[in-house]
Amino acid sequence: MENLVFNYFMPTKILFGPGSLNRLKDENLQGKKALIVISAGTSMKKYGYLDRLTAILKEKGIEYIVFDKILPNPIKKHVMEGAKLAKEESCDFVIGLGGGSSIDSAKSIALMAKHDGDYWVYIVGGTGKGKMPTNGALPIVAITTTAGTGTEADPWTVITNEETNEKIGYGNQYTFPTLSIVDPELMLSVPPHLTAYQGFDAFFHAVEGFIAKIATPVSSMFALKSVELIAKYLPLCVKDGTNIEARTYVALANTLAGFVESTSSCTSEHSMEHALSAFYPDLPHGAGLIMLSEAYHTFFASKVPQRYIQLARAMGVDVDQLPEDERPFAFVKAMKKLQEECGVGNLKMSDYGIKEDEIEKLADNAIKTMGGLFEVDPYKLSFEETVQIMRNAYK
């Protein structure tokens, strides 16, 4: 049964819809000097998104400085560098412009700009010390240019400690963005394979949040709608990235999945993927989740069949026509079909250099660094079962 006793805390103002970046002009931003956090890639400059943002800031009389080192799997070193720069330049708020890596980094930088010492002292899990941050964080503005992480609508930030190969999610009440802009027009430039990877990241946020044992009626409502929209519109986005209606619905699904992450939780599927991309940072997070998904959800479908039947229905499957014992697994079949429609049905761990004899080490890393997610699984996995799921996923 879902939790009928829960808290709901969602302090982020969200401006959603095509053209929303322009609405930033009318917002009262909480500061006079911004640290703008973007990736080390070229897209924010190439597509003019950075110029559009800085033009709005200039119009509003707000100073800014750009920090442009963020990697696709962001690392602690850059969080510390960004926080040092924010302090030196007396920035009083942080803007994350780009995908999940830039916005996650902006959140962590905003926290560390108000604290001394090392970021990892605050991390819960692995070698983190779990220290409570006492000074809050600088206000955070999230401007997302992808539909994948939902980070614009949740407090979570995922950073890798490159010294220890620990990729750990972290968040608290201070790391919610104060303002988020979700403008699907900024997503038209995302190439097909990244559109698919990001869309499936959102999909699994919703699915995992739906099966998690801390799911609530609120999170489940968001999750099922997110799954429905991704199943319908993600293939259209992959086929034609300029389809603004499809982009908008996938962006909505992503933001809804962020709401799921604010009101429920990911499960151990995410812990397993974080272990993969902690050791193999060239592996895109969404691709890693896709690789794990068939083995993972085949295992769990038999543990909470009613939840998987509801997920299959959300994907448009007429489960009532199926024999009862096949109904939960109809979700896995529909998910595989969706992956094939999006051109990501044949991803292999071995393509990224991951070796089968490393799986026990990776499973151990998943449990030690993000063991908290194993605690919210609807069934408690043993180490051996974790290894077996990852072995079954390996190809």
At 73-90, the pLDDT tens digits run 999 999 999 999 999 999
Beta-carbon-side half-sphere exposure of residue 155 (alpha carbons within 13 Å): 18
**Residues 356-372: tens digit of each pLDDT:** 999 999 999 999 999 99
**Tokens representing residue 290 in the block:** 């896709």
Instruction: Compute the distance between CA of residue 272 and CA of residue 123 in angstroms, rounded to an integer.
Output: 18
pLDDT for residue 114: 98
Sign of CA dihedral 124, 251, 216, 335: negative
pLDDT for residue 2: 79
Rounded to an integer, what is the distance from CA 95 to the centroid of its chain? 18
pLDDT for residue 19: 98
Instruction: Compute the distance between CA of residue 213 and CA of residue 38 in angstroms, rounded to an integer.
Output: 35
Rounded to an integer, what is the distance from CA 222 to the centroid of its chain? 15
pLDDT < 70 positions in the chain:
1
| Tokens 């940072």, residue located | 281
Spatial neighbors of 248 by CB under 8 A, at least 6 apart, are: 17, 18, 184
Residue 158 dihedral angles phi and psi, to the nearest 5° = -115, 115
Instruction: Compute the distance between CA of residue 395 and CA of residue 391 in angstroms, rounded to an integer.
Output: 8
pLDDT for residue 1: 67
Amino acid identity for residue 204 in this structure = F
pLDDT for residue 72: 95
pLDDT for residue 384: 98
**Tokens representing residue 246 in the block:** 């499809």
Instruction: Compute the distance between CA of residue 177 and CA of residue 104 in angstroms, rounded to an integer.
Output: 10
Of 200, 98, 187, 194, the C-alpha closest to 151 is: 98
Coil, helix or strand at residue 376: coil
The angle at the Cα of 283, spanning 180 to 76, to the nearest 5 degrees, equals 60
Buried b (16+ CB within 10 A) or exposed e, 346-383: ebebeebebeeebbeebbebbbebbeebbebbeeebee
| Tokens 């992959």, residue located | 238
Instruction: Compute the distance between CA of residue 93 and CA of residue 138 in angstroms, rounded to an integer.
Output: 5
| Tokens 């916005």, residue located | 103
Amino acid identity for residue 33 in this structure = K
β-pairing verdict for 166-170 and 140-144:
unpaired
Contact 349, 295 (CB under 8 A): no
Domains of the chain from N-terminus onward: 13-186 (3.40.50.1970), 192-393 (1.20.1090.10)
- Beta-strand (E) ranges in 125-248? 140-144, 157-161, 166-170, 179-182
**CB-based burial label for 151 (10 Å; 0-12, 13-18, 19+):** buried
**Tokens representing residue 84 in the block:** 């040092």
Instruction: Compute the distance between CA of residue 40 and CA of residue 26 in angstroms, rounded to an integer.
Output: 29
